[in-house]
A and B are shown apart, each in its own frame.
Chain A
Amino acid sequence: MLIVEALKVAYGAAQVVFDVSFAVGEGEVVTLLGRNGVGKTTTISSIMGLVPPAGGRIEFNGVALNGLPPFRVAQTGLGLVPEGRQIFPSLNVEENLVATAASRFGPPRWELKHIYAMFPSLAERRRNMGNQLSGGEQQMLAIGRSLMTNPKLLILDEATEGLAPLIRNEIWSSLKHLKTEGQAILLVDKHVDALIKFADRHIVIEKGCTVWTGTSAALAADATVRQRYLQV
């Protein structure tokens, strides 16, 4: 589905991504791992068209994404749940969900009622303003909002950042649920143990380069990967 090959990204003269390559297939859950500052969010920003790539290739279902503006990238079927959630504070929950809803590839899998079924606490708070929600609820709202665009590939950047363990587990559960439905997911997160339990493959990035890829089993078996690239 998604092919990223030899990606280079720079902010002006400061190059942050030097050589990142990976792929996400239909129905796969793939994670991007690495310490902060290595270029994970920059890679995602580049895929989404927020920062133009300085080199390399990005392709989604046969469409070249290099140089496309973000809205076109989204229209090819990529849905981003951004770092920091970035929900619309001046809209209420329902408005947040509906504002960017779309169904570009036939009858929608995700409509309002499905989101409310998956996240009951959002249903309870449907009239609350976006910025009146707790961190966890905002995260669910951000995921719901993205699902409402019926994406082919869901990208989550640090979806459990700053959340209490209980809420985090709820988020993992909903993601697991999405996986059983066949949703392809690209995930940036640091909770390796949790990710090993339901992700298919892992891509490890260090200083802007892909340094390790492998299955969950391989990652669980190799303690050095964790020590070298994920810990201090």
Chain B
Amino acid sequence: MTTPMLRLDSLRKGFGGIIVTNNVTLDVMPGEVHAIIGPNGAGKSTLVNQISGLLAPDAGGILFDGRDVTALPPHARAQIGMARSFQITSILPKFPVLENVALAVQARSGSSFRFFGRAADERELNLPASDALEQVGLAGRADVPAGDLSHGEKRALELAMALAMKPKLLLLDEPMAGMAREDSDRQVGLLKRLKGQVTMILVEHDMAAVFALADRISVLIRGQLLTTGLPEDVRADPEVITAYLGEQME
């Protein structure tokens, strides 16, 4: 019986009287790509924010690789192997592309309370950073200020930063958002190559991407988990269809 990489146990979260996460229980197994989808107002981002620690649930627990992380702040979760990308691209725009990734490496390469020595010159940090950039195809843009990258490139950079953390779990919050078909296809190709190497939770609207990548899909409706299952099963599930199309009228 394998330990789930992530277990959500009866998670609950409300904002001013509105319940946004309603008793969500979910297991994500190691090595799988688990997609979370849902129509408008499903509460997907709120759920991801609770998983990564930016929001604290009102009730329920989160176990990461067997360990209770419910009370752990985001940086601590990052330290033990949880990496995430943001729905709205979040990088360090004033730093060169390489340094963005080098910082991700730095976070787990010994103490950062070193006041001397030039961080930007450290091979110990720059080499793994370059490797990550190679993986996402950004090696040629290493010296460009990250703020100058195109949208698709910034997305790739975010992925590189996440990979540089050598994560056990990758939380991807709408990685295809804002990209045309060609760009998202490229991004999907990238993620496909990583399948199996790292567990991924994919929150997405782009169904082409979801069906290309997901091993299992969980459907969230108004904060509640409707169903979890194989992609084809979820697609055919009448309750899911109703959730997306509304009830049949008399």
Q: Measuring CB to CB, which residues of chain A are less than 8 angstroms from any residue of chain B?
A: 10-16, 18, 35-38, 158, 160-162, 165, 169, 189-194, 197, 207-208, 226, 230-232
Give chain B nearest CB distance to A232 CB in angstroms: 5
Given A14-B178, A191-B246, A232-B241: 11 more A-B contacts, CB < 8 Å: A13-B178, A16-B178, A35-B244, A36-B40, A37-B174, A37-B177, A37-B205, A190-B244, A191-B247, A192-B245, A207-B181
Q: Which of A162, A194, A207, A232 has most B Cβ within 10 Å?
A: A232
Q: With an 8 A cutoff between CB atoms, is B67 at the interface?
A: no
* Contact call A197/B249, Cβ cutoff below 8 A: yes
A231/B178 contact (C-beta < 8 A), A161-B41, A194-B246 known: no
Interface residues of B (CB under 8 A from A): 37, 39-41, 88-89, 150-151, 154, 174, 177-181, 184, 204-208, 217, 219, 222, 234-235, 240-241, 244-249
**CA–CA, A36 to B41, complex, Å?**
10
Contact of B245 among A11, A36, A160, A190 (CB under 8 A): A190
Q: Are B206 and A207 in contact (CB under 8 A)?
A: yes
B222 CB contacts on chain A under 8 angstroms? 162
Contacts A192-B246, A231-B241; is A14 near B177 (CB within 8 Å)? yes
Selected from A12, A36, A193, A226, the residue in CB contact (under 8 A) with B248 is A193
- Determine the distance from Cα of A17 to Cα of B222 in the docked complex, in whole angstroms: 26
A230–B244 contact, CB under 8 A?
A: yes
B233 CB to closest chain A CB (Å) equals 11
Min CB–CB distance B44 → chain A (angstroms) = 10
Q: Which residue of A lies closest to B152 (CB)?
A: A13
Cβ–Cβ contact B37 & A232, under 8 A: yes
- Could you list 28 A-B pairs, sorted by A, with CB under 8 Å? A13-B150, A14-B88, A15-B179, A35-B244, A37-B177, A37-B204, A37-B205, A38-B205, A158-B40, A160-B246, A162-B222, A165-B247, A190-B245, A190-B246, A191-B246, A192-B246, A193-B249, A194-B246, A197-B249, A207-B180, A207-B184, A226-B245, A230-B244, A231-B235, A232-B37, A232-B217, A232-B234, A232-B241
Q: How far does the alpha carbon of A160 sit from the alpha carbon of B249 in the complex, in Å?
A: 14
Bound-state CA distance A35–B204 (Å) is 11
Quick one: which of A14, A193, A232 contacts B235, CB cutoff 8 A?
A232
Chain A, Cβ-Cβ closest to B237: A232
Partner of B207, one of A10, A192, A232: A232
Q: Of all chain A residues, which has the CB nearest B150?
A: A13
B205 and A36 contacting across the interface, CB-CB below 8 Å: yes
CA A11 to CA B174, docked complex, whole Å: 15
Chain B residues near A207 (CB, 8 Å)?
180-181, 184, 206, 208
What separation, in Å, do the CA atoms of A13 and B180 have in the docked complex?
A: 12
Cα separation A162 to B20 with both chains bound (whole Å): 13
